[in-house]
């Protein structure tokens, strides 16, 4: 009965790893998928995560019962506090609804499903470019996806004028997807002043901000600094949605743990919103898994473990920042044509190199370096010993 099913293409990001795995070359380097690697090129399980897991294993009273539809209640409270800040007016006034969801992707999807059912405007504006899964998540949930200008390839920076023009032209009430920090794939974030402009514009047109926070703490090394954009919007008392992921900042990629928070204007509205979130979630997956959320909760509620996590998170962020410097120095030393200071100016996990798809194919076929065709490099996958090889490849791709 399925003979007419067409072969689907590989996912543009995860497909890079599929191709990488097939390459027998010892030189091969995977800079495609955004997952942290150590200097030795190994995946990292944080010490604090191992400690939390030990505590959970040793807890003889620990059950494997179903969680409520919206997940672990402590996890939800602590997650909201982490992104909004403990003094957040939304928390103090108890006018938010949080649900533990399946990492960032699941949180975005639940948010989108909720909006399709309960929000009058079905149009969402996403930046160009953005994480490749965004348009699909929102489309599959029934939203109509439009774009706003974000990146300027000539400056390798923000197209602030284009962004403001496009959001000004958006219909009243439209939803706007914003990357809370460390914009993927460009590594370009608005400055504080620019965020303030964006906030004023969004509020003046009654647009609805939907934050995607997949890299809190990963960009600057500080959890508070990386949450500032979100907190600025929550401080003005308006509505907003936030999707959080613990994949990168706790290294819990495969645990699929994240949260959706909807900030409302009153407690009454927030309780109704929460009741409807449950109706959205129940037919999708009934309730979320318990293990990842228990790890996060154990860490967030213990002062010492929270402190230890912050140190480990900062070490990951610092290693990425140091990779930027080393790559920039290596490319500069080779005299590679073009300007390359965006390698050190951009932040977060990725460098948007400006290399085109032909140059990327060349780097893959000649140097066994794997990255997405838009020229995005995961700095978290790079290590000091691989920098010369990568710089050679970039130089050859640009000059050949």
* Stretch of 57-65, 97-105, 115-123, 379-387 lying at the interface with ligand PMP (CB under 6 A): 97-105
57 by Cβ neighbours in 10 Å (0-12 / 13-18 / 19+) ranks as exposed
**Smallest distance from ligand PMP to CB 298, Å:** 19
Beta carbons of 209 and 242 less than 8 angstroms apart: no
Please report whether residue 105 would count as binding ligand PMP according to CB under 6 A: yes
The sign one gets for the Cα dihedral 282, 284, 285, 291 is negative
8 A C-beta contact, residue 245 and residue 80: no
H/E/C letters for each residue in 62-121? CCCCCCCCCCCHHHHHHHHHHHHCCCCHHHHCCCEEEEEECHHHHHHHHHHHHHHHHCCC
When the beta carbons of 179 and 368 are compared against ligand PMP, the nearer one is 179
Of 134 and 156, which CB lies nearer to ligand PMP in the complex structure?
134
Q: How far apart are CA 118 and CA 235, in angstroms?
A: 24
Of 184, 229, 294, 378, the one binding ligand PMP (CB under 6 A) is: 184
Told to judge if 63 belongs to the known catalytic residues of this protein, a careful annotator would answer no
103 or 287, CB closer to ligand PMP? 103
Of 18-26, 49-57, 98-106, 365-373: span binding ligand PMP (CB under 6 A)? 98-106
- Does residue 214 belong to the site contacting ligand PMP (CB under 6 A)? yes
Residue 248 in contact with residue 39, Cβ under 8 Å?
Answer: no
The verdict on 308 binding ligand PMP (CB under 6 A) reads no
Cβ 54 vs Cβ 79: under 8 Å = no
Question: Which residue in the set 31, 80, 145, 247 belongs to the binding site for ligand PMP (CB under 6 A)?
Answer: 247
Which one of residues 32, 71, 104, 111 is an interface residue with ligand PMP (CB under 6 A)? 104
- HSE-up of residue 151 (Cα within 13 Å, Cβ side): 22
The minimum distance between CB 158 and ligand PMP, in angstroms, equals 16
Distance CA(61)–CA(359), nearest Å, equals: 56
Residues 13-52 that bind ligand PMP (CB under 6 A): 34
Q: Of the residues 248, 309, 340, 386, which is catalytic?
A: 248
Active site residue 248: yes
CA distance to 128, 138, 194, per residue, from 163 (Å): 10, 20, 10
Q: Of residues 151-180, which lie at the interface with ligand PMP (CB under 6 A)? A: 179
Q: Which of 103, 261, 298, 336 binds ligand PMP (CB under 6 A)?
A: 103
User: In the complex, what is the shortest distance from the CB of residue 245 to ligand PMP, in angstroms, rounded to a whole number?
Assistant: 3
Integer Cα distance of 281 and 289 in angstroms? 13
Active site residues: 131, 212, 248
The residues that touch ligand PMP, with contacts defined as CB under 6 A, are 34, 103-105, 131, 179, 184, 212, 214, 245, 247, 253, 258
């Amino acid at each position: 009965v399925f003979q007419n099913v067409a072969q689907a293409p590989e996912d543009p990001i995860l497909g890079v790893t599929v191709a990488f795995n097939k390459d027998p070359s010892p030189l091969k380097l995977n800079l495609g998928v955004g997952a942290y690697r150590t200097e030795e090129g190994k995946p990292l399980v944080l010490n604090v995560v191992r400690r939390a897991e030990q505590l959970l294993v040793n807890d003889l009273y620990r059950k494997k019962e179903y969680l409520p539809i919206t997940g672990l209640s402590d996890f939800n409270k602590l997650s909201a506090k982490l992104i909004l800040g403990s003094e957040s007016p939304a928390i103090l006034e108890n006018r938010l609804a949080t649900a533990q969801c399946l990492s960032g992707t699941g949180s975005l999807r639940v948010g989108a499903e909720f909006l399709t059912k309960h929000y009058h405007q079905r149009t969402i504006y996403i930046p160009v470019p953005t994480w490749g899964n965004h348009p699909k998540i929102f489309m599959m949930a029934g939203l109509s996806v439009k774009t706003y200008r974000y990146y300027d390839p000539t400056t390798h920076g923000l197209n602030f004028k284009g962004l403001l023009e496009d959001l000004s032209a958006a219909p009243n009430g439209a939803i706007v997807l914003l990357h809370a920090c460390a914009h993927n794939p460009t590594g370009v974030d608005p400055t504080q002043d620019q965020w303030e402009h964006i906030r004023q514009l969004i509020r003046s047109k009654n647009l609805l901000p939907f934050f995607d926070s997949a890299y809190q703490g990963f960009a600057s090394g500080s959890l508070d600094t990386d949450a500032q954009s979100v907190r600025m919007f929550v401080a003005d008392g308006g509505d907003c949605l936030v999707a959080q992921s613990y994949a990168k900042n706790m290294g819990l990629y495969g645990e699929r743990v994240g949260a959706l928070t909807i900030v409302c204007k009153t407690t009454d509205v927030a309780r109704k919103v929460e009741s409807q979130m449950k109706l959205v979630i129940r037919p999708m997956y009934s309730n979320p898994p318990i293990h990842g959320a228990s790890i996060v909760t154990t860490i967030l509620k213990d002062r010492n473990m929270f402190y230890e996590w912050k140190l480990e998170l900062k070490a990951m962020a610092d290693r990425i920042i140091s990779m930027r410097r080393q790559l920039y120095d290596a490319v500069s030393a080779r005299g590679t044509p073009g300007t390359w200071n965006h390698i050190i100016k951009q932040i977060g996990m990725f460098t948007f190199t400006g290399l085109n798809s032909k140059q990327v194919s060349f780097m893959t076929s000649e140097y066994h370096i794997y990255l997405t065709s838009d020229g995005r490099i995961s700095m978290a996958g790079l290590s000091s010993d691989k920098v010369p090889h990568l710089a050679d490849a970039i130089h050859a791709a640009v000059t050949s």
